[in-house]
Each structure stands twice: as C-alpha cells, then as structure tokens.
Structure 1
Amino acid sequence: MSRVLDIVTAVIRDQAGRMLLVRKRGTATFMKPGGKRDAGEDDLTTLARELEEELGCRLVSADLLGHFSAPAANEAGFTVQSATYLAVVEGEIAPRAEIEEIVWVDPAAPGDLRLAPLLTRRVLPALLTPLAL
C-alpha cells in the first residue's frame, strides 16, 4: 500500500483559457501549482500560501473542482490526494521558491510536455467533461 501525500492544488486559467502548469527544480514533470498543508491549515489557507511562495501571486477566489488521487509524480511509492480548486489570482506570476519553470497550456491539447498522473488521469478529464444538464 502506498503512502499518501495530502495536497491542495489550483487550476489557474488565463483569458485565452490556457492553464498554468509548473515544474519544480530538479524534476521533469509539469503539474498544477499548490502543495502540502502546514499543520492546522485549511484548503484555502494552504492554497493562498503556496501560490504566494511558488508564484508570487495572491489568491482572489477559489471554487472546488473536486477531490482526486493518483500516483505521485516525483515521490516514488506515494499517492497524491488532492483538493483541486478553480482559482482566480492577481499579481504578476513568476517562478519562485522551488519552481524552475512555468508554462501555459491548452487543457484540451497540452502538447508533448511530461505531465503528472494526477493531471492527466483526473483533473484534465474533469475540466474537459461538460457537466450533465
């Protein structure tokens, strides 16, 4: 049985509908910004702190997209369990802290980037599936 990393992540989109992905220093995999909770933090506190630390932007609002799990991209033997939010941010976005690179991708056609399993198996399908009426 794998160990679980409990994380909070953000889907941040620009005016063209592209989605922001980050790559941490020393890794090859792109993923959504976010990270692990500090003791006592709720989802939105964690998300606001992580976005400020990683990207230098401020969380304005966040709506829960869903709770998802998949094998961790960078930690062998771990599963990530993510509360993923559709987030609106303000301020200039730039790589900070452990973030090496940021890219904006079309969720329907992310290209040939190496993407985290959580993103490819869970989040992109959730984003791209129209809600049933």
Structure 2
Amino acid sequence: MGRIDYFDDPAAPAATSVVPSVTVVIRDDAGRVLLIHRVDNDLWALPGGGHDAGERITDTAVREVKEETGLDVEVSRLVGTYTDPRHVMAYDDGEVRQQFSLCFEARWVGGVPREDGTETKAVRWVAPAALDTVDIHPSMRLRIDHALDPGRTAPYLG
C-alpha cells in the first residue's frame, strides 16, 4: 500500500485516525545509523511501525526492527515523542493518519541487516555526515538529529 507524507502542508487531507507507532535509532560500532528504504513512500527512514494491542511499546520497537531489518535489539532510551497534527500520512486505502510516534534508541545485539521485501526494499548503515545525501523525510531526520545529540533529554514535540 502506498503512502504520502505531508508536513505543514495546507493541501494535506484531514486526519481520520491516530495509530501509536515507534521508530528506532540503531547505531553500529562506527557510529553509523541504520536506515531502511521504505516500499510505501520510497523514502529512507528509521525502522519502525504500528503498536499492536497486547504489546508494551518497547516490545513494538523490538518487533518492528526484527521484521524490517532482521536485527535483534535492546531498547536503551526514549529519544522523543512526536505528535505534530501538521504531520499526516495518507494511504492508498483512504486512511489519513496523524503522526503519533515514540522514537527510541536501541543497541544492536544480534542478527544480520537485511531488507524484508515487503515493507523495506533496502537496509543501509549511513554515517551521520552522509545523512544529507539520503532522501529522508524531515520528520525522520529530526528524530535522528535528536538521537545523535547525546546530551539531549527526550523532547516532547506537540
């Protein structure tokens, strides 16, 4: 299913739902960030996805990373809370979701990076200095920037 991300766009459709979700920042020993190339919007992003009933939100983060990248991770901290109503995602089926995302940082503890062929068409480690060369949505870049600032406390970005 395709998706279009709108941020602060007066032409964006009105949200019809809110689905709690997560994104996860994972870095390797060289400090590179793991990004996925999404099938639905053709952008590079952090791994993540929707929260399922019966899960702890940190379990959602671990599950989504495993599904999309093949990696086993341990959640280490909350990077921030992102709930900006000016950021909506319009899906092919007519659903328009308002952003509601918690971003976590996690430590890679096992597995080998790979795409899943369904949600992700590629997985790549990207050096922070090379992030500007990757087609990434501004809201995703904001999360990465917050995670890479080690002295930062978890922001609440209404």
Considering the TM-score relative to the shorter chain, is it more than 0.5? yes
Cα 1:13–1:129, aligned 2, differ >3 Å: closer, same or farther? closer
Instruction: State which structure, 1 or 2, has the greater radius of gyration over its C-alpha atoms.
Output: 2
1:101 aligns with 2:122: yes
1:42-61 correspondence to structure 2 within 5 Å? 42-61=56-75
The TM-score normalised by the length of structure 2 is: 0.70
**Structure 2 gaps, min length 5:** 1-13, 153-158
- In structure 1, what is the Cα distance between the partners aligned to 2:42 and 2:112? 24
CA distances 1:78-110 after superposition (whole Å, capped 9, x unpaired): 332211111012211111142111122223441
Deviates more, 1:16-25 or 1:97-106: 97-106
Residue equivalent to 1:28? 42
Cα 1:79–1:105, aligned 2, differ >3 Å: closer, same or farther? farther
- In structure 1, what is the Cα distance between the partners aligned to 2:32 and 2:88? 23
Structure 1 residue identity aligned to 2:125: W
The TM-score normalised by the length of structure 1 is: 0.81
Residue equivalent to 2:53? 39
| Aligned sequence identity (%) | 30
Residue equivalent to 2:111? 91
- Aligned-residue Cα RMSD (Å) equals 2.4
- 1:111 alignment partner, SS class: helix
Structure 2 residue identity aligned to 1:79: Q
